[in-house]
Amino acid sequence: MAAKGGGAQGKRPRRQAGSVPSMQQGSERALSIERIVATAVELLDAEGVDGLTMRRLADRLGAGAMSLYWHVDNKEEVFDLALDSVLEYRGPQGGETADWRGAIFHMLEDWRAGMLRHPWSASLLPRRALGPNILSRLELLGRILYGAGVAEADLNGAIWSLWNYVIGATITRANFDLSDADMAAAQQRLAHLSEKYPTIERARLLLDNDWDGAFRKGLDFLLDGLVPK
Amino acid sequence: MAAKGGGAQGKRPRRQAGSVPSMQQGSERALSIERIVATAVELLDAEGVDGLTMRRLADRLGAGAMSLYWHVDNKEEVFDLALDSVLEYRGPQGGETADWRGAIFHMLEDWRAGMLRHPWSASLLPRRALGPNILSRLELLGRILYGAGVAEADLNGAIWSLWNYVIGATITRANFDLSDADMAAAQQRLAHLSEKYPTIERARLLLDNDWDGAFRKGLDFLLDGLVPK
DNA sequence: ACCTGAACACCGTTCAAGT
DNA sequence: ACCTGAACACCGTTCAAGT
């Protein structure tokens, strides 16, 4: 329900990173956090948020339904881990680039693209824990903005403004993606109500929008305001 | 799951608007869409999204669990109706004000405030149907922007940019609201990781932010860009 | 250390039935 | 026209038990 704190700090002893599985070739069969998380992502991609069920996840892993609970505290933790696993950033980490604007665009567009590849992720992000990969992105953002001349007192405001924009844009876009047909139907229904909604009906608000272009344009405007020349 | 289209167009005959209840004083007891929606909002306010259950809702209404299904197709419709009921705008509807900036600020801040009063609503909005109250707000927004000089070709982009910003800001804020304690704990944990996240640790990103101020500032920047001088 | 089945207290929704 | 209980096919999670 509520947003929760940092990384995965287990209460129970978990599998050591370096330990060799007892079966020599059977690393496919043994349960592990890594396999659980990867399979959860597959399941979420295929079936959406409501499709992720502890029972179905276990099934897909060829395990008994309750086996998951040795590796994981509860379903929420599965969500947290799946989410963060999808948000890793392998990009230039430099905070001292001359091209701060390019660096911000690169990271934020990569972020958005990653979430659109996993359409369940954007809606989940603001409600869930801030995992290490998200924190790294925020840290990078802060570093770039600071390097670009944003005053320390304005840093949090600037970071959150960009976060808000990216989150909002991506959640909206992801849900439109999921339901092109629905939006077309809605626009059609709008036509019958054109006395009530003439402006958005005429603009065909629910159809054919250039989401990527609009995203970049809004981001430009925001950065113009947030970063002093 | 997917965003769906316009208003509540029932397939089944619903209670007529003007019909008089057969019990003279007993309008409290009879089930009706209005009572169902109002009670659903109460329940959501009290227990959150996961707290809304068809069975519990019926209980609160003093009805049998299955009685709801005569008035409503399914749980999703309850969500749609509850959501839209919370988003009504009683404000200046004029699209030809001289003070377009003030009109936009008023509507958007009212929108945000309404959603913060019902913290479950913001996360729900982008995933659910576009009810009549939301469409009215979008229509008003379009009318004001057009009146302020936004070209017809840029109208959709401008509307969605503002939508994205409001949605993102409110969802984030609502979830921080729900979990002050969690965020404080997270910030404390960040302190232990200050080698990994020095910038946001020092800025105390997870603490004490001026959300209202940041919202207005970002909105100003966006409008500066979206509306030609 | 790792996995399991049975069991509990829930869900949303269908259906056939009541008034 | 409006409401109902029984029943179905699911949930997440606890617990005591297996290897």
Q: Which nucleotide is nearest to B70 (CA to C1')?
A: D2
Residue of chain B whose alpha carbon sits nearest to that of A138: B200
In chain A, what residues touch B111 (CB-CB under 8 Å)? none
| Distance separating alpha carbons of residues A28 and A39, to the nearest angstrom | 12
Interchain CB contact of B46 with A (< 8 Å): no
Per residue in B59-77, pLDDT (tens digit) is 999 999 899 999 999 999 9
Residue A176's pLDDT is: 80
CA dihedral A164, A167, A173, A175 (to 10 degrees): -120
Size of interface A-B (CB pairs under 8 A): 236
- For residue B22, the distance in angstroms to the closest alpha carbon of chain A comes to 34
Q: Decide if B221 and A226 are in contact by the 8 Å CB cutoff.
A: yes
- State the average pLDDT for chain B: 86
Query: Nearest Cα to B203, choosing from A86, A156, A48?
Result: A156
| Distance separating alpha carbons of residues A167 and A163, to the nearest angstrom | 6
pLDDT band at B28 (very low <50, low <70, confident <90, very high): low
Q: Hey, what domains does chain B have and what are their CATH numbers?
A: 33-85 (1.10.10.60), 100-226 (1.10.357.10)
Q: Is the CB of A69 under 7 A from strand C?
A: yes
Specify whether the CB–CB gap between B107 and B87 falls below 8 A.
no
Per residue in B107-154, pLDDT (tens digit) is 999 999 999 999 999 999 998 878 899 999 999 999 999 999 999 999
Q: Which portions of chain A are predicted below pLDDT 70?
A: 1-28, 94-96, 178
Q: Decide if A3 and B169 are in contact by the 8 Å CB cutoff.
A: no
pLDDT band at B16 (very low <50, low <70, confident <90, very high): very low
Per residue in A88-110, pLDDT (tens digit) is 999 888 666 789 999 999 999 99
Residue A25's pLDDT is: 33
Rounded average pLDDT over B166-181: 86
Chain C: nucleotides under 7 Å from a protein CB?
Answer: 1-6, 10-16
Residue B143's pLDDT is: 95
Is the pLDDT assigned to residue B178 strictly greater than 90? no
- For residue B2, the distance in angstroms to the closest alpha carbon of chain A comes to 6
Residue B122: phi and psi, rounded to 5, are -65, -45
In chain A, what residues touch B163 (CB-CB under 8 Å)? 168, 172
Say whether A1 sits in a helix, a strand or coil: coil
Query: Nearest Cα to A96, choosing from B22, B199, B138?
Result: B199
Residue nearest to nucleotide D2 (CA to C1'): B70
Query: Tokens 């390097």 identify what position?
Result: A147
Is the pLDDT assigned to residue B156 strictly greater than 80? yes
Task: Please return the burial class of A180, using the count of CB atoms within 10 Å of its CB with bins 0-12, 13-18 and 19+.
Answer: exposed
Residue A95's pLDDT is: 60
Query: Nearest Cα to A181, choosing from A214, A207, A204, A211?
Result: A207
Q: Decide if A203 and B176 are in contact by the 8 Å CB cutoff.
A: no
- Angstrom CA distances, B190 to A71, A198, B43, B120, B193, stand at 25, 50, 35, 28, 5
Residue B82's pLDDT is: 97
Structure tokens at A74: 């509860």
Interface test with B, best of A49, A133, A150, A161 (most B CBs within 10 A): A161
Alpha helices in chain B (DSSP H): 33-47, 54-60, 68-71, 75-85, 100-117, 121-124, 132-147, 152-177, 180-192, 198-203, 211-226
Q: Decide if A156 and B5 are in contact by the 8 Å CB cutoff.
A: no
Interchain CB contact of B87 with A (< 8 Å): no
Interface test with B, best of A124, A187, A199, A208 (most B CBs within 10 A): A199
Residue A30's pLDDT is: 84
Query: Nearest Cα to A112, choosing from A60, A39, A171?
Result: A171
